[in-house]
Structure formats: structure tokens, C-alpha cells
Structure 1
Amino acid sequence: MNKKMFVVSRDKKEALELSSQNKNVGYVKENNITFYPDDISIVMKESETLLNDLNSHDIVEICDNGKLYKWYSSKDGDAGIATTPKCNSNCIMCPAFDFERQKNPEMDINDMINFIRLFPKSLYHFTITGGEPTLIGEEHFCKVLKTVSETLPYTEVLLLTNGRSLAKENFFRHIIKILPNNFRVAIPIHGSDAQKHDYIVQSENAFDQTLKGIYNVLKAGIFLELRIVVSKLNKDDITNIAKLIIDKFPEVGIVHFIGLEMRGNCIIYRDDTIISYEEAFKSSAIAIDMLLNAGINVGLYNFPYCMIDRYYWPIAQKSISAYKSKFYEECNECIMKEQCCGLFTTSKAFLKPKVTPIGGKYD
């Protein structure tokens, strides 16, 4: 059969109900899939193990070769779409390789729309990302955003962008006409001035474009999240970035300090980028306090509890996707394991961080 994307149901009554909502549904029972509204059944003997692992509301595609690919796991809950791998920046510490951004295929726009429409209206969170997600083209990006707005009216929608496209006035005016109800934008600032920021993103005028995009977001009353990815490149500039935010963007909703994902460009340029999570935190502590004292919310992404001061535990978040996060054997002794983000698998390979379990005989 031709490739087909569908939402999984383990209950026939539910499957028929979802089908009545104009969704492609696969009712899974044992090693059989019955597709609605087509009412066609197929046997998937070679994929029986995978079928057993499917849960209701997973989104799955049967490829041309008959194999299954899971686009969304309702159990893991990481819902979102990467519109394109392309990016108009080439950040030195980016966890993607440059060849991935340039050569990886992007999903067909019609497949994107069909994919989005398979999610339930009760979905809590949805991320639009890339690459740089706006580079799919202004018309296609607006189509994606409009579909998200119509399909997921109660969902918190996060746009991860470098902000540069949002500096375009005409494009931004189109965007604000179709915003989802609960919409927020996350934009990174990598340096306190154009020289530092543009060097890190390896693109001229990126700093000025990013700041203009930030101004547009705030002016439109959209919830803004600013991100600071802490590396060897900017660790001595972190307090200056915080001053910039306090002076120019005091209305920001939250600032997240982000530990490195050691993959892609980050490992290619590892001598220039990689620092330990402990050093990244210590380089950020004064800036964190500055922002908090200015009344700005702060969060920590990708920092294990044992690598930051205990005073800052309340702002550390479980930020690493389950399929990327790993724990050491010693972590099983830690009383904070369930709340901890753990470590990127790649961080264990390149940094070899030492964990210190909290509680019990290790405390």
C-alpha cells in the first residue's frame, strides 16, 4: 500500500468516533490494523512487536516498504513538528551538524498539515521548531501556524526560532493575525553585542535582526522566552547578556539558561565550545541573580541537580526528551532522580561528567 499517516486507536468505538472527525485512524488489534474511514484491514506480522508497543493517540506512518514509523508517542508526550532542517544561522555550538541542516529532506507541506490535524484537542503542549521553522517559506509557515491554531485551540504552542524572520514587518503582521490562543515564542541571545552574537551564529547582522524580532514579539503582547546557551564562547559574557535583557527587554516572560547538547557543530568545535555543566552554572549564577532581582523569571534547562547549587534547584527543569536523556548507574541512588533532567547521551560520550547522587550514603 502507499504510505499512510494515521492516529492509533485501541478501541473500535473510539476509532469510529475519530474517523467521524475527518481523521485517518488505524484501529489496532493484535497484529491487524483496520483503517477508517476506508474500512480496510491489513495484517502486519513482521511488525507485531511494534504494534504491541503502540498506544491510543500515537501518530504512525506506514511507509511504502510496509514498515511503521512512529511520529508521535502519546506516552512520551513530546508533541511538535520540525518544519525544515534549514537554518539561516550556523551556530558554532548547535547540536545539529551543518550537513543535516542543508541536506536532510523536509516534510511535504500537505503531510505537515495532515500530521497536525491528527493530534487531539486536549493536547497540552505543541512545539514548532526546525532548523529555523520560518524558512519553510512565509506562505507555508503561515499555513502551518493557522492549522495549529484551528486544530489545537486549547494547547500551549511554542515557536522555537532565532527571531530573525520575525524582524520582517509584513511577515510578522501576517503571523499575528493567525496566532494560536496560548502562543509563546522562544528566542536565543548568544552575546551582548553584535560582534559576539554574530560570531557565534556565524552570520552578519544576526544580532540586529534578532533584537528587532524580539521587539516585535513584545510589542504584539506575545509571551516571550529568551534563551542563553552557555558555552566556552560566551561564559564570560553572561552577565552582560543579563544586563542587556534587563535594560531592553524587562517585559520578558522568562529567561532560560541552557546547558549544551554535545552533538553536531558542538562536538566539531568542541575545543572552542564545551565546558562542564558545573562551570556553565557557575558562569551563570551572578546573571541568574541579577535577573531574579529585576523581577524576571528564570529557569535552568539541561542542568542535573548534582551539578548546580542546591539554592537553585527550584528553577531547574526536567528539560531533556526521554529518548535523549540517560542516567548513570549511580543515579539510581539519588533521591532527586525522578525530578532530574539527567544527561544527554552525547554528553556522557564527550564530556564524561561525574555525577554525585543526592541523599542516602552519598549525601
Structure 2
Amino acid sequence: MISSQGITANIESSLIGRLSFSAVPSNQKAKTIIVNPILRKSEWKSYQSVLLSNRGDFDKSRDMGVSAIYLDADISALSEGDIVEIQPDGRLSVLYQITSRHNVIFATSKCNSNCIMCPQPVDNSEGSLTDRNLEIISLMDKCTDEIAITGGEPTIIGKDLFRLILACKKLLPSTSLLLLSNARKFSDFEYTHFFSSLQHPNLILGTSLYGDNDTEHDRIVGSDGAFHETVKGILNLGTFRNRVEIRTVIHKYTYQRLTRIAEFIYRNMTFVSHIAFMGLEIMGAAKQNLESLWVEPTDIRTDLENAVHYLNQRDMNVSIYNIPLCLLPHTLWKYARQSISDWKNSFALSCHSCSVKGNCSGLFNSGLELYSAYLKPI
């Protein structure tokens, strides 16, 4: 998430609004944060807030009782239609970028698993985020291509998840949804039936499988019985013809079993729409457990190549996420995707001379220092 620190005036509680760099119709002003407005200052009060990069204008807005934030920073990264949150302490966070392909609705940080490589810390003091998320959805551009609903585990919020999906269906009818879930809740047939009855026209559920057996999978996700719940959940989703993507994060406990996982998927779940093998994001639990999770990038090549080719030869749609091209055999390049959210994405200095940088995923910001030594510009 992109954020900046500024100074606020006349903001007593957090507010969420859509940015505009020019005047908007009267019926949109209450949810519009206007940026450096070329308007009479008497008109500023009709907007939800004013974002200013001129300190003199900010001081005047404060004296006038106008809700405002002053940023002494480059605002060129902000665009018309972005959605931001402003806190009373001056923190501005970008919740939605109109130019990004990687916008998310963060349903909750809570989860019913405890994966050893999860990048997302749990906030046990967190309250419901649903009303906030519904407000964000209502402000999103109608031409948004895709949104991911993520967590934590989104099914933890119960029926509120259905409210989010229905809001997207109604307000963003042409926007595809990616729901990231461990799929354990979908082991409940009735729950899956109700979920399917929402009939979102373009939703795919992305779930995780870290082993071809319960011993391996349950150890990685830190929860006994999780493997059987996830597998049953995937099968139930398939019964109702939901689109499913299966993801496997590559680390020390999974890389030598990638082909077995691929075989398990092919033998039991040929209906899935997509399988993705993913590089590790070194945040949260992954950072804490890095010593036990780490595997040399060169060591994964053979197992990854075998797994990808096994699935491809059986006409299953397979991709590789989050791994730079120079760390992959050339035979796997056509499966590699630019999958890292733009606000998490970085390239090492050595990458700037690489001839295939434009087609490369780059690295997570969190892994840049660790992986830089392994990168070889092409």
C-alpha cells in the first residue's frame, strides 16, 4: 500500500474519498477529495476534503475551517479516480489505484490456518472492515478490470463476504473477482451451494495446496485436518462449476514435491481453471521462518520444470508467479507471469540492463536484497 505522511486540518476522524484534480458535479462532492483546486476558496468547503501541496494554501484552509491535508511530497504518483484514506494524524494511504491491475479488498487479517510462510500478520484487535470495504467498492471506477478479495481468510467474516461479492456484482458488473481463500470453509456443502447461488458472472477462487497428502500440507499450514477440508472444498466448488485456481508457494518443504502435487491435481481436480507455482514473499511468518524455508534458487529448477511440463502435457493451464526470468530455465519462460502487485514490485540495479526486463516479474520489495546476488541480466 502506498502511503505518505502529511499534516491535517479540521479532520477529526479517518475519511475515505476519491481523488479529483478538477471540479466535480455537486452530487459527487461529498465523497471527493479535490487536489490543489483551482477554485474560489469559498468552494473548498463543499468537498469532503482538500489535498494541498502549497503550505500557504493549507494554512488558509485551516483558518477557514476546511477539511484539508498538506503533503510536502511529490504527488505525481496519485491519479484522478484513486481512492485514499486520510487519518487525523496526517497519514494518507492509497486504497485503490485506478491505473493498477492489482487492486485488493482486504476482508480481514484473521485466519483459521497458521501457514509457516504467510506474509500477512494477524491483528487480533481488528474489528469488522466490511462497511469500510463496501464504501471503497462504491467509489471504484466502473471500468476496473479486476479486484482481489484477500486476507487473512475472507470466509472468516461469514455472510459479510457475500455482501462484498454482491456489492461488486451490482456496482462493478464488468469487473472480474479473484477470491483468495484456503477453501476450508467450502468443505461445507451447503455453504458452497449458497456461495454459488450468488452467481457472480466472473469470479475465480484462488486457493492453496502445499502437498499431495495431509501430513505435508497440514504441517505447512499449521492446522490438523486442513488438507482434507481444502480438498473437499475444492471438489465442492467444482461440483457447482465454480472456477478454481490452485496455488503452491515454493520453499524448502514443497519444492521436491511439486511434481507429486501436480500429479495429485491432475488425477483428482482436472476441472480447475489454473495452477500457479509461486515464489516466496519474504514478509511476516516467511521472514521469521526464513532459515527453515530457504532453498537456493538454482535447486528448484529441475523439480519446477518437471511439474510444469507434467501439467502442460496434460492440457492443464499452468503458470509461474513471482520468479524472475533469469532464475528460470529458458524452457519455463513462457509460463512466467508479471504477477507481483505494483506497489510491492522492485528490480535490482543490475536488472536495468537486462534485455527481457519488460517481460519479467521482477522481485518482491522484501526479497530484493536477498535475491540480488542470484540475478544475471540477460
Q: So what's the TM-score if we normalise by structure 1?
A: 0.89
User: Is residue 71 from structure 1 mapped to residue 95 from structure 2 by the alignment?
Assistant: yes
CA distance in 2, matches of 1:35, 1:162: 49
Contact 1:142 1:175 in 2 (8 A): yes
Runs (5+) with no aligned partner, structure 1: 359-363
Which amino acid in 1 is paired with 2:328? Answer: I
Question: 1:166 matched to which residue of 2?
Answer: 186
Name the stretch that deviates more: 122-131 or 223-232.
Answer: 223-232
Task: Provide the residue aligned with 2:33 in structure 1.
Answer: 26
Q: Distance in 1 between matches of 2:139 and 2:290?
A: 40
Check conservation: 2:217, 2:226, Cα contact below 8 A. Answer: yes
The one-letter code matched in structure 1 to 2:28 is: S
Q: Does 1:3 align with 2:11?
A: no
Offset, 1:30: 4.5
Deviation at 1:43, TM superposition (A): 6.6
Equivalent in 150, 157, 172 of residue 177 of structure 2: 157
Choose from 331, 339, 347 the match for 1:311.
331
Asked if 1 retains the 8 angstrom alpha-carbon contact of 2:34 and 2:49, the reply is: no
Q: Which residue of structure 2 aligns with residue 349 of structure 1?
A: 369
Conservation of the 8 A alpha-carbon contact between 2:109 and 2:151: yes
Where in structure 2 are the equivalents of 1:47-86 lying within 5 Å? 47=71, 49=73, 53-86=77-110
Matching residue's letter, 1:123: T
Q: Which amino acid aligns with 1:49?
A: A
Report deviation, 1:70: 1.6
Correspondent of 1:101 among 117, 122, 126: 122
Alpha-carbon separation, structure 2, partners of 1:177 and 1:48 = 49
> How many Å separate the matches in 2 of 1:66 and 1:171?
42
TM-superposition CA deviations, 1:115-141 (whole Å, max 9, x none): 1111111100100000111112x1211
Identity %: 27
The answer to whether the 8 Å contact 1:18/1:25 transfers is: no
Q: Deviations over 1:133-179 (max 9, x none)?
A: 1112x121111111111111111110011110111223222211224
Residue of structure 2 equivalent to 1:279 = 299
Q: Can you list the C-alpha shifts for 1:220-279, whole angstroms capped at 9, x where unaligned? A: 112111111111112221111111111001111111010111222223222321113332
The residue that corresponds to 1:112 in the other structure is 133
**Residue 239 in 1 paired to residue 275 in 2?**
no
Per mean C-alpha deviation after superposition, the further-off stretch among 54-63 and 3-12 is 3-12
Residues 196-237 of structure 1: per-residue CA shift (max 9 Å, x gap): 111111101100000111011111112111111111112221
Which amino acid in the other structure matches residue 323 of structure 2? F
Q: Identify the residue that residue 326 of structure 1 maps to in structure 2.
A: 346
Counterparts of 1:68 and 1:19 in 2: how far apart (Å)?
21
**Structure 1 residue aligned with 2:67:** none
- Map 1:182-201 onto structure 2 (within 5 A): 182-201=202-221
Shift of 1:3: 2.4
Equivalenced residues, count: 350
Please, which runs of 5 or more residues in structure 2 have no aligned partner?
1-10, 53-57, 59-69
Match of 1:361 in 2: none
CA distance in 1, matches of 2:42, 2:326: 49
CA-atom RMSD, angstroms? Answer: 2.5
After superposing on structure 2, the runs of 4+ consecutive aligned residues of structure 1 that deviate more than 6 Å are: 31-37
TM-score (normalizing by structure 2): 0.85
Distance in 1 (alpha carbons) for counterparts of 2:103 and 2:124: 24
Q: What is aligned with 2:61?
A: none
Cα shift at 1:104: 6.2
Name which of 117, 125, 150 aligns with 1:129. Answer: 150
CA deviations over 1:90-137 (Å, ceiling 9, x no partner): 1112223xxx2143635532111101111111100100000111112x
Contact kept? 2:248, 2:278, Cα under 8 Å: yes
Quote the residue 2:159 is aligned against. Answer: 139
Change (3 A) 1:70 1:214: same
